Each structure stands twice: as C-alpha cells, then as structure tokens.
Structure 1
C-alpha cells in the first residue's frame, strides 16, 4: 500500500455492557464506575461509563487492520479523554496521516473517537512503525 499524507480511515463499534465487563476481566481494571450501577449513579457521570482505554483500543484496531494496516507497530500514542463513553454508545474511531518521515518508515496520525451524537470522546496522536512503507514523493 502506498501511504500519503491525508490518507484516512475509520472504524465503528457499539460499546456494550458486556464489552465493558469483559475488558475489566481482561485488564483487571475493576473500578466500580465501570461495573457498579449504584456506585456510578453517585458520580458526576450519573451512570456507568466505559474504560477510557477500551475506547482507545478502537484506535489500535484501526491502525492494525486498516491504516496503515497489518504489521503496524505502535511507537507512541497520546490520548485526551474529552467526554465519557456510556454503554451502548456507538464509537467511530478515525485516523488520518499527518506526517511520513523521509528517513525511516515512521508515520504520524491524528487519532479521534466520536460518539453517535458527533461528540469527540477521545483525541490524540499516534506514531507508528510501518515495516513495508511505500511513499509518494
């Protein structure tokens, strides 16, 4: 695949209560704001929220599966969690290439997740290594 600045891709998933519970089991993050309705009702959110990193993992899936694609290796990722993700929110992860290094197969991408209401819930920047990088010059 020939990559160029401005290339973009997106991936959409509805985050279910089951996803949140399985993520808690997988990671060991059992914060009650994610798992306990009574506890979560007393927080600023008023109800359970998904783990921020569950939402961010959609970015990882998009990078690995779509753009740049298979073989992509994370070097870094910044994340700003700007709004909560609630059970049954449909999250669209979006990435866009902002830089391709000339000297190494390293690509920088803007990363954003938005919910079904168009609200940005996560924003950041990923830097990845792409082994078989072809570039337009």
Structure 2
C-alpha cells in the first residue's frame, strides 16, 4: 500500500534547482509488506534469515522478522526521485544511521528536507529520515544533483 502525502499540492515530477528553497519538504508513506521483503531479498540477493524466517528471527536481538535496512532507505530514494527534486535528479551521496527496526506491516513515513543549496553546482543537500508510529527508525543526509531548466 503506497499512500503519498506531500506537504503541499505540487504534483510528482520535477522541481528544478531554480525553484528549490531551504526548508522545502516532501514525504511519502508506505506499508512494508512480506512481499516487499521477499522481493527485496530476491533483487538484492540478501537472504539473511532475520528477514525471511520467523523461527530464526525470533531468537535474534530483534525477537522477530525485520525488513532490510536498505529497503527502508529505498523509500528516501523514492521521495528524492519522484518528488524533491524529482525526475532527472542524480544521487551523489547518502549517509544513513539505522535507529530501530522496521517490521512487516509497519507504515513507514519517509521524508526529505532541503538544508543547503549550491546553485552554481546544482547541488542540494537534504536531511533524510524515516519514521514508524512517530519514532525515527532511520536518519541521514543526501546530496543530489538537481535538474535545471537551463539543461532541458
């Protein structure tokens, strides 16, 4: 289930560097399903049983199955690639700190907020985070190359 909520009424697509401002935010919400975890395991080839085997996972520090951390981080990529800056954005870097597990069935809210803009280099720095039930499960910083109207 993907339920996209934005902080304003702008459509998905592209926000060019010329229109980006410090403090702009965008977010989405997605419920992480068993199928998401299984598909991510197939795509990434990460078949760690903490993600896929209930019995195994029960005996771990997490006391149950968890989603891959990079699956959760991928939701940040979705916000960046679809909303802010959006289509045409090039990822330059991302730092991540995993704070808590995401479990099958959790509704994750992924959000980005513009913190710095370098217009000359078309670089945008953003605070990134994911939360479940109001609790941060991931935080970090992304640096991207934003699209520009000058290069359309």
* Same structural fold, with TM-score higher than 0.5 when normalized by the shorter chain: yes
SS of the equivalent of 2:55 reads helix
Pairing of 1:57-76 with structure 2 (within 5 A): 57-76=74-93
1:133 to partner: Cα distance: 6.3
Deviations 1:48-70 (A, max 9, x none): 00000000000000000000110
Number of paired residues? Answer: 133
- When residues 42 and 130 of structure 1 are mapped into structure 2, their CA distance, relative to the original with a 3 A threshold, is same
- 1:100 pairs, out of 111, 117, 126, with 117
Q: Which runs of 5+ in 1 are unaligned?
A: none
- When residues 96 and 133 of structure 1 are mapped into structure 2, their CA distance, relative to the original with a 3 A threshold, is farther
Q: Which runs of 5+ in 2 are unaligned?
A: 1-14
TM superposition score normalised by structure 2: 0.85
1:102 to partner: Cα distance: 3.5
- Dislocated runs of 4+, deviation >2 Å: none
TM superposition score normalised by structure 1: 0.94
SS of the equivalent of 1:57 reads helix
Which of the two has greater strand per residue? Answer: 1
